């Protein structure tokens, strides 16, 4: 059995055909159109999906779609998508379904990553798992008692907006001091720029094109400044992990997304800070690790939701 699956990001759209063992048998990737209406975006996604479906010659009944937004699972409406605002208020799944002729199931992208890692990655075999995605922003997905948990209105798991600094840096959500402002790739670069401007020195020179990867490359060869920036990000992640551990007693917390490739320099500070703050028993039990599926976590989670629809006729039970 095969399904279509896609992971729509602010920059790229990944589309694939996935079999029931979780193998991506065909894949394609293209840029997310930066302008246009929700209809344009739905038609673009549908065009990619049709192209790959025609190549495969397979019968496909369901299309799983991971999107960067809050989904009202009852109505199928996208309540809020800060990165792709044209989706706001739209029944985006229905639009893609009309354009493809295939039933669509929508899932939040960070929840999809958690489902993917739970199905085939670092959280497999664990009934209580948390996935934290570290990229341009910080996302979160929760697996509780073996199932994705989205709360009353689909907004649960916004780990990036847990407060870690009461009077901290302003956040796009309207609050300040959110984890996202200290532990995303964007935040790591901002914190480094602030400290270099204040006179600290590093082998990484301050420039408009400085990236989190430049800082990681410097950290890995022992640049004290870069290591210290990652230690700060790790400390804030550790504060959030302590709260999550105290709240949910998870078996595993998986770190996914581009910045998780800096796991080697983040792991120590995260675990040290978490252990300082969390209850001893759940802190000792929880395993913190990097995701195993890299960029495929979202698409595989979306595929898993599509198989769940086929098997049970309901995406979230």
Locate the DSSP E strands across the chain: 2-8, 12-19, 24-31, 62-67, 70-72, 77-80, 103-108, 129-134, 138-144, 147-148, 252-256, 287-290
Closest distance between Zn ion and the C-beta of residue 160, in Å? 7
Closest distance between Zn ion and the C-beta of residue 174, in Å? 7
- Asked if 25 and 70 touch (Cβ cutoff 8 Å), the reply is no
Closest distance between Zn ion and the C-beta of residue 178, in Å? 3
Closest distance between Zn ion and the C-beta of residue 289, in Å? 25
C-beta closer to Zn ion: residue 161 or 304: 161
Tokens 């959110």 -> residue: 178
C-beta closer to Zn ion: residue 175 or 249: 175
Residues pairing with 133 in the sheet: 139, 256
C-beta closer to Zn ion: residue 175 or 203: 175
Q: Which stretch binds Zn ion (CB under 5 A): 159-167, 192-200, 201-209, 297-305?
A: 159-167
Q: Is 116 exposed, middle or buried (0-12, 13-18, 19+ CB in 10 A)?
A: buried
Q: Which stretch binds Zn ion (CB under 5 A): 164-172, 184-192, 226-234, 252-260?
A: 164-172
- Which alpha helices (H) appear in 209-293, and where do they start and end? 212-220, 224-248, 263-277, 280-285
C-beta closer to Zn ion: residue 178 or 188: 178
Span 70-129, contacts to Zn ion by CB under 5 A: none
End-to-end Cα, the chain, rounded Å: 20
**Cβ neighbours for 44, distance < 8 A, ≥ 6 positions apart:** 13, 30, 32, 33
Span 176-195, contacts to Zn ion by CB under 5 A: 178
Other C-beta atoms within 10 Å of 37: how many? Answer: 11
171 binds Zn ion per the rule CB under 5 A: yes
- Asked if 130 and 248 touch (Cβ cutoff 8 Å), the reply is yes
C-beta closer to Zn ion: residue 16 or 157: 157
C-beta closer to Zn ion: residue 175 or 261: 175
Q: Which of 252, 40, 232 is nearest to 131 (CA)?
A: 252
C-beta closer to Zn ion: residue 48 or 182: 182
Contacting Zn ion (CB under 5 A), which of 24, 80, 147, 173?
Answer: 173
Spatial distance between the Cα atoms of 145 and 251, rounded to a whole number of angstroms: 11
Contacting Zn ion (CB under 5 A), which of 161, 244, 308, 309?
Answer: 161
Q: Which stretch binds Zn ion (CB under 5 A): 58-66, 157-165, 220-228, 284-292?
A: 157-165
Q: Which stretch binds Zn ion (CB under 5 A): 59-67, 156-164, 195-203, 239-247?
A: 156-164
Q: Which stretch binds Zn ion (CB under 5 A): 132-140, 155-163, 183-191, 250-258?
A: 155-163
Q: Which stretch binds Zn ion (CB under 5 A): 4-12, 161-169, 189-197, 237-245?
A: 161-169
Give me the residues that bind Zn ion (CB under 5 A), please: 161, 171, 173, 175, 178
């Amino acid at each position: 059995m095969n399904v279509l699956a896609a992971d729509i990001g602010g920059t790229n759209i990944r589309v694939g055909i996935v079999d029931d063992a979780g193998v991506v048998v065909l894949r394609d990737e293209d840029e997310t159109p930066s302008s246009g209406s929700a209809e344009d975006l739905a038609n673009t996604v549908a065009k990619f999906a049709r192209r790959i479906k025609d190549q495969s010659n397979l019968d496909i009944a369901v299309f799983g779609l991971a999107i960067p937004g809050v989904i009202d699972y009852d109505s199928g409406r996208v309540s809020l998508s800060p990165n792709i605002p044209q989706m706001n208020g739209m029944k985006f799944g229905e639009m893609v379904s009309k354009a493809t002729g295939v039933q669509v199931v929508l899932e939040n992208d960070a929840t999809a990553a958690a489902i993917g890692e739970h199905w085939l990655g670092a959280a497999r075999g664990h009934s209580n798992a948390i996935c934290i995605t570290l990229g341009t922003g910080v996302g979160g997905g929760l697996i509780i008692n073996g199932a994705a948990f989205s709360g009353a209105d689909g907004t649960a798991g916004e780990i990036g907006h847990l407060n870690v600094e009461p009077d901290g840096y302003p956040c796009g959500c309207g609050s300040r001091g959110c984890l996202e402002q200290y532990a995303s790739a964007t935040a790591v670069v901002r914190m480094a720029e602030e400290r270099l401007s204040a006179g600290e020195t590093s082998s990484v020179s301050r420039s408009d094109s400085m990236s989190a990867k430049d800082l990681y490359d410097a950290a890995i060869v022992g640049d004290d400044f870069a290591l210290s920036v990652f230690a700060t990000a790790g400390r804030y992640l550790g504060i959030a992990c302590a709260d999550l551990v105290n709240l949910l007693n998870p078996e595993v917390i998986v770190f996914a997304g581009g910045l998780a490739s800096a796991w080697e320099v983040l792991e120590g500070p995260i675990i040290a800070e978490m252990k300082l703050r969390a209850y001893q028993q759940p802190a000792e039990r929880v395993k913190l690790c990097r995701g195993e599926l890299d960029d495929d976590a979202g698409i595989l989670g979306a595929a898993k939701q599509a198989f769940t629809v086929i098997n049970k006729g309901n995406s979230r039970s």
